[in-house]
Amino acid sequence: MVLQVPLQFRGCPGPVVLHERQVCWIEDPTRWPAAYTTAMSFAQKSVVVTGATSGIGRAAAEAFGRDGANVVLVARDGSALASAAAAVTAAGGHAVSCEVDLTAPDAPDRIVRAALDAFGGIDVVVNAAGIIATGTIENTDDAAWDRMMALNLRAPFRLMRAATPHLVARRGSVVNVSSVNGLRSFPGVLAYNVSKAGLDHLTRCAALELAPQGVRVNAVNPGVTVTNLHRRSGMNDEQYAAFLERSKQTHPLGRAGEAGEVADLILFLASAKAGHMTGETIPIDGGRHLTCLR
């Protein structure tokens, strides 16, 4: 028999029940409110995260780990995958790695098979992998356009299609990592804007089609977030520092976002707490989408 104690904000006296499923000892009483509200809602759930070795994908993978999930980490870099898997395990989850190029023809089947072999099914898919590059209507060539669409739009579509039967079996959910650029137009990143707008509409269309089968599909739309995304686009340290400084003016809340903040929203959308939400594209951008060009 498990002893349940009255909820307290200070001085938790001993074993407590978290959402009537998990028992823990709160060594630091000041952490009691957070410990209660972040109960292990994903315990024994199977979660696929692409782009899991850095940025928002890595933050989401670790957050799912802290919530007790079984996480399939998807990326191209084997050593980075090993590091991410260790972090998820240390956070309290279980992790397996799937080293694959998401644009490869067999990538969706390999990812789904990894989830089924390791954890027996799929409850959540998080499409967090993505790239950005500068380019205008005048200088974006076919190859640059195709690279952007292949990873930012085609890869999520193909993985969602391959995972759908397994998501239906568990009445699961999908969270796509889009961008404020999918909601608003910005100059100089033409292909990126279009790829994220396409991802938003993919989210809405899939949500309508899968709703009768109990599968929810939503997206998060971050503004500038402190990750390696822009550095990988070619920015050096000085340029990136100036870019973040500029974000203090372009984002009404006066700063860039953090990957962990976006991860928190991803977990909410994937959870039963968002059980009546589908087809939503939710800005988490410090108010950037509310502004006019400046």
Q: Is residue 242 pLDDT above 90, yes or no?
A: no
What are the structural domains, with CATH classification, of the chain?
43-290 (3.40.50.720)
Strongest mean pLDDT among 231-235, 241-245, 249-253, 265-269? 265-269
Mean pLDDT of the 71-78 span: 97
Take residue 280 and report the two structure tokens written for it.
């939503």
Encoded tokens for 30: 């000041």
For residue 181, give Cα distances in angstroms to 61, 73, 77, 128: 24, 26, 27, 15
The amino acid at 194: V
Note the pLDDT of residue 4: 41
pLDDT value, residue 11: 40
For residue 182 the two structure tokens come to 């999918």
Mean pLDDT of the chain: 87
Report the relative pairing of strands 22-24 and 94-99 from DSSP bridges. unpaired
Give yes or no: 240 in active site.
no
What's the rounded mean pLDDT across residues 226-236?
72
Candidate list 52, 63, 192, 288, residue with the active-site label? 192
Answer yes or no: are the C-beta atoms of 51 and 57 closer than 8 Å. Answer: yes
Q: pLDDT tens digits for 80-135?
A: 999 999 999 999 999 999 999 999 999 999 999 999 999 999 999 999 999 999 99
